[in-house]
A and B are shown apart, each in its own frame.
Chain A
Amino acid sequence: MDLSQWIGILVFFLMGIAVAGGLLSLSMVGGRKSTPVKDAPFESGILTATPARQRFSIDYYLTAMLFIVFDIELAFLYPIALNLRDDGLFALVILVVFVFTIVEALGYVWKKGALEWR
């Protein structure tokens, strides 16, 4: 196998190590002085209000789950949309059946009260 085409990746890799290693070793040279401001978590310059490690409510997972399900359906809608012009009525019928099923599922979730924040 001809390895010359990978030379760019090798250079990139070496540069990465050089930059990161250089910065790290520079910080060793000067010694450290810690101040309260330095120790605070970086929050784009805004003062931090609460600790970063808070626990999520278990309800969050329920909402996240529903989001995953409805989000992933897009994976099917996109190819159908691409082929809509070629396949015409057939694709449209499939699209309608598919969307109907999802809407039905949404109605089910709603009616079951899974969207309420308890």
Chain B
Amino acid sequence: MTHLNVVAATPQIIVAAAGVLAMSMGLFNRYEIRRYGPSAISLAGIVAAFVMIVLLWGDREEAFGGGIRSDRFSLLLSAIFLVSAALVIGLAWRESAAVDRRGEFAGLVMVAVAGMMLVASAGDLIVLFLGIETLSVALYVLCALEVWRERSLESGLKYLITGAVGSSILLYGFALLFGATGTVDLAEIGEQLGGTSFAGEPLVIAAMALIVVGLGFKASAVPFHMWTPDVYEGAPTSITAFMSTATKAAALAAFLRIFQGVLPDLAGDWRVAIAVLAVASIVVGNVAALAQDSLKRMLAYSSIAHAGYLLIGVAAGSVQGAEAVIYYLIVYLAMTMTAFAVVIIREREVENGEMLEAFAGYARARPVLGVAATLAMLSLAGFPPLAGFIGKFLLFSAAVEANMTWLAIVGALGSVVSLGYYLRILGVMWLGTPADGERPARLLAVPAPVMMATGTAAIAIIGLALFADPMIDISRGAAEALLAP
């Protein structure tokens, strides 16, 4: 208990406490408290944690004797998780999972965010593993929250089984890493493994391989992606959006923290493995997405492909690569949230609202939402001059700088293929004619929180392109903090 320094851990503590409180709010008998209490407390917690992040912004501080460190990297990633949670709570305003079980919904989202923040700010292997498990366990329940729907339950159970296998493999990797160095502290492990004396050591190689596999499960990288489409399709749509943005960011944070932050001297050993995962994810994700008829499944495969793009930045193994990953994570949050928001709005109106045919002519009926969806899809495809293009450009040029030009070429080709399905969605939305009649059936008023969340995400896509320079500077600061002694 050398340095307690609880202040540095306040964002995590606030979020966890808000989660526990929000969950209990759902138990009150008064309808108003049950309906608005959990969301209000969660949003208050998010705002408070955000303020603390701004106040703590700066050089590294350590809490609980080095178990939790708050540096620019962990704080920026925490901000991503918090924004994602706030948007999801807004988007889920009228979703059945969130209305009937609002306490559990908001509470568990907050608990998951607390876990993700622990992952980003972990100072030793124990906290890292604890964070990954906290977020996973909360998400298993969130996936199955619509217990009256068999698909939701099935999605939760499948996620639990694959997620638990991934966690066990990851844990075994951590155990071997601990065995090779004799310490669980990330900084000390980095010191022990510094230099090249450990390169080629079987124990370390095995540990790295197991950690790549375990984190590959969490980031849904090919070939550890089998669960992703099923789970994403079965889970409540707002949770799908949360999983594909925040959980992906947490997994990438773990990748960066371990490989870039702790094992930079062994880059020769892990770069190729991660590059292979990246290529496989880009190819499989983009090709499989072409054949989907459900927008939710299509976005699931698109998220697999994006895990591949993001892993390119990790494989580059440079500050530039990490900076690109962090910037792209922010952009990806905005675009994916907007894309899923459209699905959430449509799902409330018609049955099978996630199917592509439900969107025929939808953009003409709702032009503003149509424009937002167009922005999101074009940005996801990497159309210049949108934010998605800037992010991809940074990722690919980091790969080129790192003498991995082939990786950049695969990424660029993958983006071209991805145009196929993103443009197909847009074609159906703007030009398609509904099966029965001129206008799409049943347009309902969009609730204000959903509208606000959608608008924020859509505007962020433009904002991140207009103010790309300051955002990239912030990302670079975070990337440099990874390697700071």
* Direct A–B contact in the complex, CB atoms closer than 8 angstroms: yes
- A interface with B by C-beta (< 8 Å): 87, 90, 101, 104, 107-108, 111-112
B1 partner, pick from A90, A104, A111, A112, beta carbons under 8 A = A90
B176 at the interface (CB under 8 A from A): no
- CA A111 – CA B26 in complex, angstroms? 10
Given A111-B27, A112-B27, residue A87 in contact with residue B20 (CB < 8 A): no
Which residues of B from 19 to 47 have beta carbons under 8 Å from A? 20, 23-24, 27
Other than the given A90-B1, A104-B24, A107-B24, 10 more pairs (CB < 8 A) read A87-B1, A90-B4, A101-B20, A104-B20, A107-B27, A108-B23, A108-B24, A108-B27, A111-B27, A112-B27
Give 5 pairs: A residue, B residue, CB < 8 Å, sorted on A. Answer: A104-B20, A107-B24, A107-B27, A108-B23, A112-B27
Residue in A104, A108, A111 whose Cβ sees the most chain B Cβ within 10 Å: A108
- CA A111 – CA B24 in complex, angstroms? 10
Residue of B nearest to A110 (CB): B27
Residue of B nearest to A112 (CB): B27
- CA A104 – CA B20 in complex, angstroms? 8
Across the A-B interface, the 6 shortest Cβ-Cβ residue pairs: A111-B27, A90-B1, A104-B20, A87-B1, A104-B24, A108-B24
Give A92 Cβ to nearest chain B Cβ, in Å: 13
- CA A111 – CA B27 in complex, angstroms? 7
- CA A111 – CA B23 in complex, angstroms? 12
- CA A104 – CA B23 in complex, angstroms? 10
- CA A90 – CA B24 in complex, angstroms? 27
- CA A68 – CA B20 in complex, angstroms? 20
- CA A107 – CA B24 in complex, angstroms? 9
Interface size on B, residues (CB 8 A): 6
Number of A-B contacts (CB under 8 A): 13
Interface string of B1-29 (1 = CB under 8 A from A): 10010000000000000001001100100
Residue of B nearest to A91 (CB): B1
Q: Which A residues touch B1, using CB under 8 A?
A: 87, 90
Give B304 Cβ to nearest chain A Cβ, in Å: 33
Residue in B1, B4, B23 whose Cβ sees the most chain A Cβ within 10 Å: B1
Give B66 Cβ to nearest chain A Cβ, in Å: 16
Give B459 Cβ to nearest chain A Cβ, in Å: 38
Q: Which B residues touch A87, using CB under 8 A?
A: 1
- CA A21 – CA B362 in complex, angstroms? 79
Q: Which B residues touch A107, using CB under 8 A?
A: 24, 27
Give A86 Cβ to nearest chain B Cβ, in Å: 9
- CA A90 – CA B3 in complex, angstroms? 12
Residue of A nearest to B4 (CB): A90
Q: Which B residues touch A90, using CB under 8 A?
A: 1, 4
Give B153 Cβ to nearest chain A Cβ, in Å: 15
Interface string of B122-152 (1 = CB under 8 A from A): 0000000000000000000000000000000
Give A59 Cβ to nearest chain B Cβ, in Å: 16
Give B237 Cβ to nearest chain A Cβ, in Å: 25
Give A116 Cβ to nearest chain B Cβ, in Å: 15
Q: Which A residues touch B24, using CB under 8 A?
A: 104, 107-108
Residue of A nearest to B26 (CB): A108
Q: Which B residues touch A108, using CB under 8 A?
A: 23-24, 27
- CA A76 – CA B20 in complex, angstroms? 19
- CA A112 – CA B27 in complex, angstroms? 8
Q: Which B residues touch A101, using CB under 8 A?
A: 20
- CA A111 – CA B29 in complex, angstroms? 10
- CA A107 – CA B23 in complex, angstroms? 11
Give A84 Cβ to nearest chain B Cβ, in Å: 13
Residue of B nearest to A101 (CB): B20
Q: Which A residues touch B4, using CB under 8 A?
A: 90
Q: Which B residues touch A104, using CB under 8 A?
A: 20, 24
- CA A106 – CA B4 in complex, angstroms? 29
Give B19 Cβ to nearest chain A Cβ, in Å: 11
Q: Which A residues touch B27, using CB under 8 A?
A: 107-108, 111-112
Q: Which A residues touch B20, using CB under 8 A?
A: 101, 104
Q: Which A residues touch B23, using CB under 8 A?
A: 108
Give A58 Cβ to nearest chain B Cβ, in Å: 14
Give B147 Cβ to nearest chain A Cβ, in Å: 13
Residue of B nearest to A100 (CB): B20
- CA A108 – CA B103 in complex, angstroms? 11
- CA A107 – CA B27 in complex, angstroms? 10
- CA A102 – CA B151 in complex, angstroms? 31
- CA A101 – CA B1 in complex, angstroms? 22
- CA A104 – CA B19 in complex, angstroms? 12
- CA A107 – CA B1 in complex, angstroms? 32
Which residues of B from 391 to 415 have beta carbons under 8 Å from A? none
Residue of B nearest to A87 (CB): B1
- CA A104 – CA B16 in complex, angstroms? 13
Residue of A nearest to B107 (CB): A108
Give B330 Cβ to nearest chain A Cβ, in Å: 33
Give B31 Cβ to nearest chain A Cβ, in Å: 16
Residue of B nearest to A83 (CB): B1
- CA A87 – CA B4 in complex, angstroms? 12
- CA A112 – CA B24 in complex, angstroms? 11
